[in-house]
Amino acid sequence: MRRIDQSTRISVGIYGMIFLMMFVFNRMALFIFDDFLYLYSFADKTRIHSVAQIFPSMATHIQSMNGRTIAHFLVQLFLLLPMWVFDLVNAGMFVLMIWSCCAMAGIKMRRSNLLCTAVFCAFWVYTPVFGQVILWQDGASSYLWASSIGFALLYLTARECLFEPCVRTIPAKVGFLILSILAGGYLEATSAGVLCGMFLLTGMGIVLRKRSLGWHVPAGLAVAFLGFVSMFLSPGEMKHKPGMGFTRVTFTKTVIDVTQVLSKYAILVYLFVGMLVLALLGRANRRRILLAIALFASALAANYIHVFADHYPPRSSMGMVSLLICANAVILRSVMEETKYMASAVVAAVFAVVTFFPKFLIGFQDISLTYVQMRNNETAIAQALAEGHTTVAIPDVTFKSEYSIRFGVDYIKEDPAQWPNTDMAKYYGIDVIVGIPQTEQEEVGG
């Protein structure tokens, strides 16, 4: 029987702790905002009770909303199941994103546990609107899962094009194609970044490999591109596009606006450039450097695709930020393991871990505070129903940081005839839900 070394046990322990922590935080994230919308069919506005109802719902959705059919199909599918099932899967998807990132960097290196911890800490610190894209059910199904699926595909593509291939059997190659379709047509920005990465890695593979690539690699790129085009050009998407008739002034302004979003994460850009210089000076593994450059270019693609969007909400930068973190992980690994500048890379990794702790305390407090308030409101609704009331007034949720699922999305409105009050009332089985604004709460409390 093969013995498991201490480093592997520590690695398993780290991933286990990350999974457990994220599962607990997911259990503390209740339904909010679009979660209530996706409980009902877009076709006939009735509550979805079966998988068969999701298909006509998505057929209407793609015409009126957007082309994220895969992501939103999964949203409605998991809303059919107990909440803990999604919480379990979502925690697993978060771990998959971390693992894929570390695997691309080189999971079997001597300091893999430090890198894994630093990657997790970087995601906790730099992920935009963390509560929206990691914990909120509708948001996580779109933004987190897009990165997890995309990273898994990029890891396999990197193996096939630059390193030791691992997709050898026909079933594995079919699985690669399915994963390519999912990643290409999942979420506009992240899919654009993944497509850019696949294209660059495939080109590198053609140039660097002595033998030809397997047929599944270019085929995967092709079907991923088709998935992206079908999503990007769907009727619902085209309704929200600003059009291609850019003037020089409007185009320049849009590029500047999109660049300003990238500048918010300048520390990740500067870190990458600095480590890239050290990797080149230290003559690190050429293929690992090329992989890091491909991932960095993918992050830029995920950012600048928003030049063609009508708006750029913070959660849409998730794909760009996650690819930036992954690019940094790969280049840090090269400097840490293959050059004489190891100390610089270790300091950068330790810095990520150190900056995590104050952010973690803020996030833990805000996630807990949001959960307690929302659970108290659910208790108030249940009590009103038990007492035979048809109307209930509940306070809005207060929050302090982006780690709360309430940050950036509506929870309740004062007018009971407005959404999401209407869908909330249907879900909880009461006629009317009235929201008490935060300002009124402060006046009552003060």
Q: Per-residue confidence at 2, pLDDT binned at 50, 70, 90?
A: low
% of the chain at pLDDT higher than 70: 93
> Per-residue pLDDT for 443 more than 60?
no
Please choose, from the candidates 310, 195, 298, 167, the residue with its C-alpha nearest in 3D space to the C-alpha of residue 241: 310
Lowest-pLDDT range, 114-123, 334-343, 425-434?
A: 334-343
Helix (H, G, I), strand (E, B) or coil at 347: helix
> Per-residue pLDDT for 431 more than 70?
yes
Judge whether 167 and 214 are in contact, CB under 8 Å: yes
pLDDT for 258 equals 93
pLDDT for 259 equals 93
List pLDDT tens digits, range 144-182: 999 999 999 999 999 999 988 889 899 999 999 999 999
> Per-residue pLDDT for 445 more than 50?
no
Lowest-pLDDT range, 20-24, 94-98, 107-111, 352-356?
A: 107-111
The helix or strand, by DSSP H or E, that contains position 435, with its residue range, turns out to be strand 432-436
* Rounded-to-integer distance, Cα 424 and Cα 318, Å: 28
Judge whether 278 and 335 are in contact, CB under 8 Å: yes
* Rounded-to-integer distance, Cα 417 and Cα 18, Å: 41
* Rounded-to-integer distance, Cα 374 and Cα 114, Å: 37
What value does the mean pLDDT take over residues 409-425?
93
> Per-residue pLDDT for 212 more than 90?
no
List pLDDT tens digits, range 107-129: 555 557 888 899 999 999 999 99
pLDDT for 208 equals 85
Q: Within a 10 A sphere around the Cβ of 9, how many other Cβ atoms?
A: 10
Burial class (CB in 10 A: 0-12, 13-18, 19+), 168: exposed
pLDDT for 115 equals 86
> Per-residue pLDDT for 211 more than 90?
no
Q: Within a 10 A sphere around the Cβ of 418, how many other Cβ atoms?
A: 12
Lowest-pLDDT range, 8-12, 384-388, 398-402?
A: 8-12
pLDDT for 442 equals 42
Residue 72's contacts (CB-CB under 8 Å, 6 or more residues apart) are 38, 58, 61, 65, 141, 142
Q: What are phi and psi of 430, to 5 degrees?
A: -120, 155
Higher pLDDT, 5 or 429: 429
* Mean pLDDT of all residues belonging to the chain: 90
Judge whether 262 and 303 are in contact, CB under 8 Å: yes
Q: Which two tokens stand for residue 244?
A: 């291609």
pLDDT for 241 equals 59
Residue 315's contacts (CB-CB under 8 Å, 6 or more residues apart) are 128, 129, 132, 133, 139, 143, 408
What value does the mean pLDDT take over residues 125-137?
96
> Per-residue pLDDT for 279 more than 70?
yes
pLDDT for 1 equals 47
List pLDDT tens digits, range 289-316: 999 999 999 999 999 999 988 889 999 9
List pLDDT tens digits, range 240-254: 655 545 566 677 888
> Per-residue pLDDT for 360 more than 60?
yes
> Per-residue pLDDT for 8 more than 80?
no
Give the Å distances, CA to CA, from 315 to 182, 203, 275, 312.
20, 31, 27, 8
Whole-prediction pTM? 0.92
% of the chain at pLDDT higher than 90: 73
